[in-house]
A = this chain, B = another copy of it.
């Protein structure tokens, strides 16, 4: 039986990625697409790569008749997202891709994002959307808050290790290398091809990246004590991909076995043989995560590397995976596309 889907914020990269994935979904049908700044345009105008699809024209979100919608993806920027979602029908199932409902503590939200939260009651309904670790809660949720793409990548490395108590908690470093689409379709000088291609740099160094709010919340809850990690993102001259290199203190074989056990039944997470290292080349355009563990020459230290596609598994793919669960579909529906290589 088909389900009717709406997307608010369809003119950004995560909106386009949702449509790409839904294009071959067996039961979800796109009924409405909203992008207030481009209302009236066709998706073929905004994203010509989708022109072969028979899609509804863009409208404002206020124009959508939500009575006929089974689930709504909200792919707006943070701050705007909470404003819009707080006005949507209270029974509407929603997967939000913004940062607005990820942090349970409104003060943490304000600390990391600068603005006060205006939908605190709605936030209380939200389930954190890291599917592999919140699967049951997501199945019954009305509102799911998609995770940050970096936050997802880091958690795929660290959650089992923290929960399994196989690493030291006070000395965790994530050195992350991120493709540029994570910054969205925004007109900034440093995102221009001429400024970005052929080079790379660190940014938000020293513990200032917003996704640390998610790491702090989730790792502290898991550990039952405050956990603070070091996390340094780097902007890479590629469009898609996140590679996280995790430096942890613990026995490499125990680290490896813990990850193997944690993910052995997961359809999208591949733990490579011990000593093998993942590459973003091998997950591009897909919902898969590759994880590799290696021991350092210094005893008691392990390097764990994880790769995923920030737009797919890190954002829109995760969102669809959650929507599948919320609507009683096969969790992998529409998501088994193989990576696009070369």
The interface of chain A, by Cβ under 8 A from chain B, is 13, 16, 19-20, 23-24, 47-53, 171, 173, 175, 177, 180-181, 185, 187-189, 191-203, 205-208, 212, 228, 230, 232, 234, 236-241, 243, 245, 247, 268, 270, 272, 275, 277-286, 288, 290, 292, 294-298, 301, 303, 305, 307, 311, 336-342
Q: Which residue of B lies closest to A311 (CB)?
A: B342
23 inter-chain pairs at a CB distance below 8 angstroms, sorted by A residue, are A16-B341, A19-B338, A20-B339, A52-B268, A52-B338, A177-B177, A181-B194, A185-B195, A196-B281, A198-B238, A198-B281, A199-B238, A199-B279, A200-B243, A200-B280, A201-B278, A202-B277, A205-B275, A206-B294, A207-B297, A236-B237, A311-B342, A337-B337
In order of increasing CB-CB distance, the 9 nearest A-B pairs are A207-B297, A201-B279, A199-B281, A194-B342, A49-B282, A49-B339, A187-B187, A206-B294, A175-B175
> Are B13 and A303 touching (Cβ within 8 A)?
no
B342 A240 Cβ-Cβ under 8 A: yes
**Whole-angstrom distance from the CB of A276 to the nearest CB of chain B?**
8
* Cβ-defined contact, B245 with A277, below 8 A: no
Given contacts A187-B188, A281-B49, contact A177 B234 (CB under 8 A): yes
Instruction: Return chain B residues, CB-CB under 8 Å to A234.
Output: 177, 243, 245
A191 to chain B, nearest CB (A): 5
A24-B336, A180-B193 known; A277 and B201 CB under 8 Å? yes
The answer on a CB contact under 8 Å between B187 and A192 is: yes
CB of A185 within 8 A of CB of B194, answer yes
Give Cα A180 to B285, complex, Å.
19
Q: Find out whether the CB atom of A175 lies under 8 angstroms from the CB atom of B230.
A: no
**Contact in complex: A201, B243 (CB < 8 Å):** yes
B279 touches A198 (CB 8 A): no
Given contact pairs A185-B192, A205-B292, A236-B237, enumerate 11 new A-B contacts (beta carbons under 8 Å): A24-B337, A171-B171, A180-B193, A187-B188, A193-B197, A198-B198, A198-B239, A199-B241, A201-B307, A230-B296, A236-B236
Q: Are A237 and B240 in contact (CB under 8 A)?
A: no
How distant is A281 from chain B, measured CB to nearest CB, in Å? 3
Q: How far is the CB of A210 from chain B (nearest CB, A)?
A: 13
Residues of B within 8 Å of A294, CB to CB, are: 205-206
Question: Nearest CB to that of A295 among chain B residues?
Answer: B206
A198 and B247 form a contact (CB under 8 A): no
Contact of A247 among B51, B173, B270, B272 (CB under 8 A): B173
Q: Which residues of B contact A286 (CB under 8 A)?
A: 49
Q: How far is the CA of A339 from the CA of B181 in the complex (A)?
A: 16
A237 near B238 with CB under 8 A, answer yes
A303 & B206 in contact (Cβ 8 Å cutoff): yes
What residues of chain B lie closer than 8 Å to A270, measured between beta carbons? 51-52
> A237 touching B277 by the CB < 8 A rule?
no
Chain B residues within 8 Å of A339, by CB: 20, 49-50
